[in-house]
Structure 1
């Protein structure tokens, strides 16, 4: 509860609660995608990480993918093996260092993801086009800050 000298936190809390509700809805959307395609939620997280790396022009080794997902070596191997059997990823030699084996997302996974998440992405882009660059910058800063706070644990 705020005191007379403190501003009312309600407007900020409303945004925080909307962010939480959005996070829940996005999680449910992802869970439906996983269930529809016989995947574990971690499989979906792995595919997202691999697609993000691809978009950024980065290569992910299995070890780095496991670290991103918080998996141990055995869990990461099982995950990559499972996704490879499903034709969603492949192990290849690194482009920068041919001695290194990296995991790449297959086009089939991109198509599956786009079929499910594409309309949501398109709607989000449409909404963002309604904001000017200053507003988008504020949204970007806010989301980065929340992401960093969440990644920090506790």
Structure 2
């Protein structure tokens, strides 16, 4: 349970940092989740569409449209037609969003990377294996639509 409690504490701290970032940049926490999703899909080399974004965030079509309108207006996200299938819209994060995130989260990321330097490659493999298993366990059952209020 020590690991579970520590993971919860790290999660709370990261959530607070994300909330600070969102608030200081006039964003909703869902906006931040959308940007993270789009950055992750870009890193993975997969195409991000409004449908995939809505599925990942648990938003309906109207909610995704409002979210994208807001992020596009702020210059953080771009929508463009897919050259291979003109019916499909692709999403990407603008450089402004990357720079904004780097300016806020860069020092934290640097400290996390430096902390990893104190571990051997084998220890880091073990940490990676645990965090992967924790993510899979967490994602195995989606949260209730009512937030667990029932």
Structure 2 residue corresponding to 1:107, chosen from 92, 95, 98: 95
More deviation in 94-103 or 106-115?
94-103
The equivalent residue for 1:92 is 80
> Within 5 A, what are the aligned runs for 1:70-89?
70-89=58-77
TM-score, normalization by structure 2 = 0.89
Using a 3 Å threshold, how does the CA distance of structure 1 residues 95 and 58 change in structure 2: closer, same or farther? farther
Equivalent residues, number: 142
**Which of these two proteins has the greater Rg computed from alpha carbons?**
1
Q: Secondary structure at the match of 1:60?
A: coil
The equivalent residue for 2:42 is 54
**Residues in 1 aligned to 2:85 and 2:120: alpha-carbon distance in whole angstroms:** 42
The equivalent residue for 2:124 is 136
**Residues in 2 aligned to 1:130 and 1:95: alpha-carbon distance in whole angstroms:** 46
**Residues in 2 aligned to 1:118 and 1:35: alpha-carbon distance in whole angstroms:** 17
**Residues in 1 aligned to 2:84 and 2:114: alpha-carbon distance in whole angstroms:** 37
The equivalent residue for 1:151 is 139
Structure 2 residue corresponding to 1:119, chosen from 78, 98, 107: 107
Q: Identify unmatched segments of 5+ residues in structure 2.
A: 144-150
**Residues in 2 aligned to 1:91 and 1:120: alpha-carbon distance in whole angstroms:** 30
The equivalent residue for 1:41 is 29
Q: CA deviation at 1:138?
A: 0.6
Structure 2 residue corresponding to 1:30, chosen from 11, 14, 18: 18
TM-score, normalization by structure 1 = 0.87
- The answer as to whether partners of 1:30 and 1:44 remain within 8 angstroms in 2 is yes
